[in-house]
Amino acid sequence: MTKIMTDSIQTKEDLSGKFAPVNGLQLYYEMYGSGQPLIMLHGGVGASEMFGTNLSAFSATRQVIAVHLQGHGRTADIDRPFSYELMADDISAMLKYLKISQADILGYSLGGGVALQTAIRHPEVVRKLVVISTPAKRAGWYPEVLEGFDQMGPEAARYMDQSPLNQLYPDVKWAKLFTKLGEMMREDYDWTKEVAAIRMPMLMAFADADAVRMEHILEFFGLLGGGQRDAGMDGSLRPAARLAILPGLTHYDIGMSLSLAAVIMPFLDAPMPKDGSAGIAKI
């Protein structure tokens, strides 16, 4: 289960957001800055506060759109299960609603899975992809993390009354959120075949003490051509994908660390590949 970090939680008065009517949801989003659009997708249970001051770091040079996923934050739940695929469809529909033809997509943990599925299901709307602390298959999590998913249910919500998140998002039905999130996280998945076909520029970022197994991180990178050979003196054999392992961090604080923005911004700012590679290859 994603641990909630509360050090940099914004108050309700600090926020100015809007709602996009998509797929039966009133999908809440906050917009900051201007420039190339960057969609930021949070982890489980919390919402955009999980990125802390990274929101302002990214919005200094681009238009940040921080989305609250189904049943999280200020996006009310509806009568449908949680799934990476359905949430990815929401992101694509939101971009269409906002008349944004293509955006960079950044996702952390739960949001990283949604970002991956957005790239897989709707590659035409994704310019560059950033996936943070997210595996390409369920077995990529450490066994003890999977045990936590197996136990996730309404009883876990009893602690939320004392959480700052309860004051920030008083309308969230915590027992229902934990129940549906647990059901989702117990479902097996393996997206390795689809991930190997991704062709848009992609950066994977993990903590050096992450909830994702290091062996799987290397497997994930290998799916996209990484970790297989020396890139050569001129870097001409470098894979299109990028891998960052951030020191001194865990799965639970990487989203708020400003070292994350320091790694991601150069990737987002770099020119698009001249070979026109983008989207997802046919498989």
Q: Phi and psi of 132, rounded to 5°? A: -115, 120
**Per-residue pLDDT reduced to its tens digit, 108-123:** 999 999 999 999 999 9
Write down the residue that tokens 């996006």 correspond to: 75
pTM of the model: 0.92
pLDDT band at 220 (very low <50, low <70, confident <90, very high): very high
Selection from 18, 58, 6, 68 nearest residue 34 by Cα: 58
Map tokens 């027992």 to a residue. 175
Q: Per residue in 151-202, pLDDT tens?
A: 999 998 988 988 999 999 999 999 999 999 999 999 999 999 999 999 999 9
Phi, psi of 197 (to 5 degrees): -95, -5
How far is Cα 88 from Cα 23, in angstroms, rounded to an integer? 11
* 90 — pLDDT class (breaks 50, 70, 90): very high
Q: How far apart are CA 27 and CA 207, in angstroms?
A: 29
Taking CA atoms, 152 is separated from 6, 44, 183, 251, in Å, by: 20, 12, 8, 18
Q: What are the boundaries of each domain within the chain?
A: 19-230+237-268
Mean pLDDT of 219-226: 95
Could you read off the pLDDT of 10-20 as tens digits, one per residue? 333 344 689 99
Q: 19-230+237-268, which class in CATH? A: alpha beta
> What pLDDT, on a 0 to 100 scale, did the predictor assign at position 239?
84
